[in-house]
Amino acid sequence: MGFDHKSIEKKWQAYWEENKTFVCDVWDFSKPKFYAVDMFPYPSGHGLHVGHPEGYTASDIVCRMKMMQGYNVLHPMGFDSFGLPAEQYAIQTGNHPEGFTLENIATFTRQLKMLGFGLDWERQVSTCDPSYYKWTQWIFKQLYNDGLARLVNIPVNWCEELGTVLANDEIIDGKSERGGYPVIRKNMLQWVIDIPKYADRLLEGLEEIDWPNSTKEMQRNWIGKSIGAHVDFKVDGFEEGFTVFTTRCDTLFGATYCVLAPEHDLVEKITTPQQKAAVDAYVKLCATKSELERTELNKEKTGCFTGAYAINPVNQKKIPIWISDYVLASYGTGAIMAVPAHDTRDYAFAKAFGLEIIPVLEGGDISKEAWTEDGVHINSDFLNGLNKEDAIAAMIAFLETHKCGRQQVNYRLREWIFARQRYWGEPIPIVHMEDGTTQVLEDDELPLVLPKLDDYSPSKSGASPLEKASAWVNVERNGMHGKRETSTMPGSAGSSWYFLRYIDPQNDQVFADKKLLEHWMPVDLYIGGSEHAVGHLLYSRMWNNYLYDKGLVPVKEPFKKLFHQGMILGENNEKMSKSRGNVVNPDDIVHAYGADTLRLYEMFMGPLESAKPWSESGVEGARKWLDRVYRLFIEMDVLSDENDGALDYSFHFTVKKVTDDFESLNMNTAISQMMIFINDAYKAGKVYRPYAIDFIKMLSCVAPHVCEEMYQIITGKTCLVHESWPTYDESKLVKNEVEVIVQVNGKLRGKFSVPTGSDDDVLKEEAMKIPAVVSQLEGKTVRKVIVVKGKLVNIVAN
């Protein structure tokens, strides 16, 4: 009974491979194109987990449908193969990260093939392959030549244990995402990419793409555009002054103190001798805290008076200068004017340290809390009587005429730190010359390949392991000595453009042929986790926008439609993890139930975007249903060449629903509808052969192996994706029967079905035949029968 998934899956996977079923001829422009990309996996040592096939099955379903709909489909796969875990492994075992990475890639590839995805394996890319990273280095070179990649001294997140700098999105609660090691802020000379230059473009681009709103919103917040003003303050008794960034320059008359970030350049200079010891101790304490800890709204405010005073430029009033960790060095100018009456954090700070609070807007009760809404200005000289908007405009005019301030747009988005003091990444193609200049490598010197090392460990000082490769590091160029840059690119480099390389992965003249890019870009469907919302998804948009500006790619936005699959959790609703021992291995499921079952189960668990717990009995249920389908079409004698019409509605409705649902990635509801059809077919006992075949085509997107098998048995033909997608007949979607409710004296007594359009007499007749109605009417006289056409019969009797 049922089918033998092992032999069937092997057979069809071999068939697809031999016949190059999913190898895309990218030069065939005769059909419309469909380009789908899955966020490529990091080939970890653990192999595929059950979360991977979730998104991959969804994209495979859409691609298989698109192929049947006549599209030329490009659906490639690759590996994001540079990164920390392989390097940690190399350090611990003394092996080369490359060997380990290649083994992992082989495992991932085997597992992906075992799941029957219709991927074009001839276009596989791997970011650690020199033929790939040659072009990552080449793009970096263009950024460098255009002044967008620069070496600057900036505060970075330094992780001592990992011996490297980390990006903000790689830190969780002040600890490294990988390994959970402490992270501190420190100043370092770093390669950065000037992503803030693209801030406005990245905001505008969000308007034209079909992405989840929550992700767009996260990107907007991360970019954090705010329109405000710079106001210059002098320090009493000093030549120097400082500038603050404020979104509320209208409240300047209410500024009762200023706060500098503890790291601000001026702190040392202006601190009075009496305050020095306290200030030094406070600065030291702050260096151990992460940005997140510092900006948390509800935490207790801490700070220290510098002993110095600032002069408010609108009224020459002297106000104290404090330092506090709630002011970040990396935002705005690293200095603020504090208006405790109208800002929540300043209010808490002023209350904690007994500082003056002057209201400058009417409203609220400032003895209790800050008033942060709009209002009429008071205590504000030339602003009195104005609302917020007008007062801001008037204040900016004042500041500009008195040359002590100006309008200023500020972004939260920081430069993209583009270097790691690590081995396993793309070498940065730069040489630091003896005379202090930097040179970028010539095109024919690319790729700059990583040298082999005996020892990969980073030094605690922050020097990269590549420093040890002295033969590689020291170079002569045009008769001058130089040293190669020894930091390598971050993990986000290679993943910022791989969707372009897939289109033309073997090209060694350009990163991808222009004509091909014009035809295939943008990616029509991009599926992957929401954890990349402000990292990879922002970086890759920036690179693509940049390459667009250079005329190298045809569209600004690389991903037309984005979808995030939800996380698959353990049986008890917790995260799957090795330490919890609840990790499900796809190999085991495929072995016991088959790849089709795993695919079907994962698509039926719930909405694709939701987090959902694993259930072994759910897997069993999925397998049982596939057996039920197989039994019906193959083992029972139900197929018929005559259509008696019994399944017309169910079939046509199913085609419509499945087509729409696959398109919108509502895989679970498409599957429910297919289940309804199978129930209807069992009830009917006979299935019109073309309906069975079309049903198998639709189901093949989810469960391709068993469907190919059934298709071959029924038709003698092979290869469903070359067949055409089922169509439905709109006229069959009108139900030809209606259900009528019967009441006696207003109480429900029964229901019956009649053909649509039946006349009232037929309805009355049918109603009177219902046994419950007959017994209700016993001994009574029918006084009146009310018929609501096609809906209801109410019998009044007493």
Which residue number, 337 or 698, has a Cβ lying nearer to ligand ANZ? 337
**Binding piece for ligand ANZ, criterion CB under 6 A, among 311-319, 321-329, 447-455, 619-627:** 321-329
The single residue among 195, 327, 517, 538 that binds ligand ANZ, judged by CB under 6 A, is 327
Which residue number, 42 or 326, has a Cβ lying nearer to ligand ANZ? 326
CA distance 35 to 501: 13
The single residue among 69, 124, 247, 712 that binds ligand ANZ, judged by CB under 6 A, is 247
**Binding piece for ligand ANZ, criterion CB under 6 A, among 180-188, 210-218, 339-347, 521-529:** 339-347
Q: Which of residues 38-77 bind ligand ANZ (CB under 6 A)?
A: none
Number of residues that bind ligand ANZ (CB under 6 A): 18
Which residue number, 347 or 559, has a Cβ lying nearer to ligand ANZ? 347
Q: Which of residues 340-359 bind ligand ANZ (CB under 6 A)?
A: 342-343
Q: Give which of 677, 679, 710 is closest to 693, Cα–Cα.
A: 710
Structure-token match 């904690």, residue found: 352
The CB-of-243 to ligand ANZ minimum distance in angstroms stands at: 11
Q: What proportions of the chain, in percent to the nearest 5, are helix, strand and coil?
A: 40, 20, 40
By CB atoms closer than 10 A (0-12, 13-18, 19+), residue 321 is: buried
The CB-of-263 to ligand ANZ minimum distance in angstroms stands at: 10
Q: Which two tokens stand for residue 5?
A: 């998934």
The single residue among 74, 77, 139, 328 that binds ligand ANZ, judged by CB under 6 A, is 328
The single residue among 126, 219, 251, 486 that binds ligand ANZ, judged by CB under 6 A, is 251
The CB-of-242 to ligand ANZ minimum distance in angstroms stands at: 12
Contact criterion met (CB below 8 Å) for 652 and 690: no
Q: What is the 3-state secondary structure (H, E, C) of 684-695?
A: HCCEEHHHHHHH
By CB atoms closer than 10 A (0-12, 13-18, 19+), residue 92 is: exposed
Which residue number, 66 or 345, has a Cβ lying nearer to ligand ANZ? 345
The single residue among 192, 235, 337, 740 that binds ligand ANZ, judged by CB under 6 A, is 337
Which residue number, 328 or 523, has a Cβ lying nearer to ligand ANZ? 328
Question: Which residues touch 438 (CB under 8 Å, ≥6 apart)?
Answer: 151, 430, 431, 432
CA distance 148 to 196: 10
CA distance 682 to 659: 23
Which residue number, 124 or 226, has a Cβ lying nearer to ligand ANZ? 226
CA distance 460 to 470: 19
The CB-of-383 to ligand ANZ minimum distance in angstroms stands at: 13
**Binding piece for ligand ANZ, criterion CB under 6 A, among 120-128, 325-333, 534-542, 780-788:** 325-333
The CB-of-538 to ligand ANZ minimum distance in angstroms stands at: 18
Question: Which residues touch 560 (CB under 8 Å, ≥6 apart)?
Answer: 209, 210, 522, 523, 524, 525, 526
Which residue number, 253 or 326, has a Cβ lying nearer to ligand ANZ? 326
Site string for ligand ANZ, 485-524 (x = CB under 6 A): ----------------------------------------
**Binding piece for ligand ANZ, criterion CB under 6 A, among 8-16, 178-186, 242-250, 433-441:** 242-250
Structure-token match 């990292």, residue found: 535
Question: Which residues touch 175 (CB under 8 Å, ≥6 apart)?
Answer: 181, 182, 183
CA distance 61 to 529: 18
The CB-of-282 to ligand ANZ minimum distance in angstroms stands at: 16
Q: Which amino acid is at 218?
A: M
* Backbone dihedral angles phi then psi of residue 120, each to the nearest 5 degrees: -90, 95
Q: Which two tokens stand for residue 82?
A: 């540079």
* Backbone dihedral angles phi then psi of residue 314, each to the nearest 5 degrees: -85, -30
Whether omega for the bond prior to residue 726 falls within 30 degrees of 0, making it cis, is: no
**Binding piece for ligand ANZ, criterion CB under 6 A, among 239-247, 306-314, 422-430, 481-489:** 239-247
Site string for ligand ANZ, 409-428 (x = CB under 6 A): -x------------------
Q: Is 483 annotated as a binding residue?
A: no
DSSP state of 523: B
**Binding piece for ligand ANZ, criterion CB under 6 A, among 147-155, 336-344, 350-358, 457-465:** 336-344
The single residue among 245, 347, 424, 498 that binds ligand ANZ, judged by CB under 6 A, is 245
Q: Which two tokens stand for residue 659?
A: 């087509």
Q: Give which of 151, 138, 136 is closest to 193, Cα–Cα.
A: 151
The single residue among 56, 331, 424, 526 that binds ligand ANZ, judged by CB under 6 A, is 331
**Binding piece for ligand ANZ, criterion CB under 6 A, among 32-40, 280-288, 324-332, 492-500:** 324-332
The CB-of-535 to ligand ANZ minimum distance in angstroms stands at: 21
Phi/psi region, residue 405 (left: phi>0; alpha: psi -120 to 50; beta: rest), is left
Q: Examine residue 776 and tell whether it contacts ligand ANZ (CB under 6 A).
A: no
Helix (H) or strand (E) holding 266: helix 266-270
The binding site for ATP consists of 578
Q: Give residues in contact with ligand ANZ (CB under 6 A).
A: 226, 245-248, 251, 326-328, 331-332, 334, 336-337, 339, 342-343, 410
The binding site consists of 578
